[in-house]
Amino acid sequence: MTHDSLSASRSQPLSALDRVTRQRLLPHTPVTLLQRVRQNNDRTAWDDLVRLLVPLVDHWVQQTIRDRDDRADVGQDVFLELSKRLPTWNYDSSRSFRAWLRTVTRTKCVDLFRKRGNAAGEQHLSKIASAEVPDELERQEALLLTRAALSLLESQVRPDIWAIFRQYVLEEIPAATVSRTCGVEVGYVYLVRNRLLTRLRGLLENLQG
């Protein structure tokens, strides 16, 4: 999927969140969250990854399973499977981690349907799985990940730093105005933007495709 496919139709202007989701022109490539989880057995990185992916997995599960307890059980099964398989999962730029995770989630939903003898639900899910994911749904999924990453990032930085980033990047307030409002130099506004976008990329790298 191209970056352009994440945008809405041409008649609709890109939101600031869309632009952050599409962001790729960053100073350097950081160590990604997936790499930290896979290579270093980093518990903090695993917790961050779960926090990032829970909204997306919930989104997929809610499309086919109505019962709240069943959805919770399937979600737990998905992350248990992820914890088992991620150490041996090799990133391939021609493949999509998100598509792979979507398949894992749907498989766990099918397992539940089979356990409950719900043939109709299983058939419906099989039909969905065989269909190509529309660009707009791809965009919605990418935005879900971006929102989760922004929430995680906000929890990891000082409130004054986040205020600069929020105003300049998310609210698109001019740098000079942010500088006056926050009492910092304009250059510092740019520095905060670059550093936090780099950290954001480290969270989302390999997950958005």
Token readout for 69 is 């307890």
Quote the number of domains for the chain.
Answer: 1
More confident residue, 1 or 57: 57
Instruction: Write down the pLDDT at residue 8.
Output: 34
Rounded average pLDDT over 192-203: 91
The answer to whether residues 1 and 138 touch, using CB atoms and an 8 Å cutoff, is yes
Q: Show Cβ contacts of residue 88 under 8 Å, excluding neighbours closer than 6 positions.
A: none
Instruction: Write down the pLDDT at residue 170.
Output: 93
More confident residue, 28 or 138: 138
- Asked whether residue 164 is assigned to any structural domain, the reply reads yes
* pTM of the full structure: 0.75
> Which residue from 138, 157, 151, 158 is spatially nearest to 208, judged by alpha carbons?
138
How far apart, in whole angstroms, are the C-alpha atoms of residue 194 and residue 179?
Answer: 15
State pLDDT tens for residues 44-94: 889 999 999 999 999 999 988 888 999 999 999 999 999 988 877 766 656
Work out the mean pLDDT of the chain and round it to a whole number: 79
The pLDDT-based confidence of 115 (bands split at 50, 70, 90) is confident
- Asked whether residue 106 is assigned to any structural domain, the reply reads yes
> Which residue from 160, 205, 169 is spatially nearest to 190, judged by alpha carbons?
169
How far apart, in whole angstroms, are the C-alpha atoms of residue 162 and residue 165?
Answer: 5
Judged by average pLDDT, the poorest of 48-52, 98-102, 160-164 is 98-102
User: How far out from the chain centre does Cα 134 lie?
Assistant: 17
Rounded average pLDDT over 120-130: 58
Alpha-helical (H) ranges within the chain are 16-22, 33-40, 43-62, 68-85, 97-116, 119-130, 135-156, 159-165, 175-182, 186-204
- Asked whether residue 38 is assigned to any structural domain, the reply reads yes
Please give the share of the chain, as a percent, with pLDDT higher than 70. Answer: 72
Q: What spatial distance separates the first Cα and last Cα of the chain, rounded to whole Å?
A: 7
Domain that holds residue 119: 3-204
> Which residue from 132, 171, 140 is spatially nearest to 6, judged by alpha carbons?
140
Rounded average pLDDT over 193-205: 89
- Asked whether residue 209 is assigned to any structural domain, the reply reads no
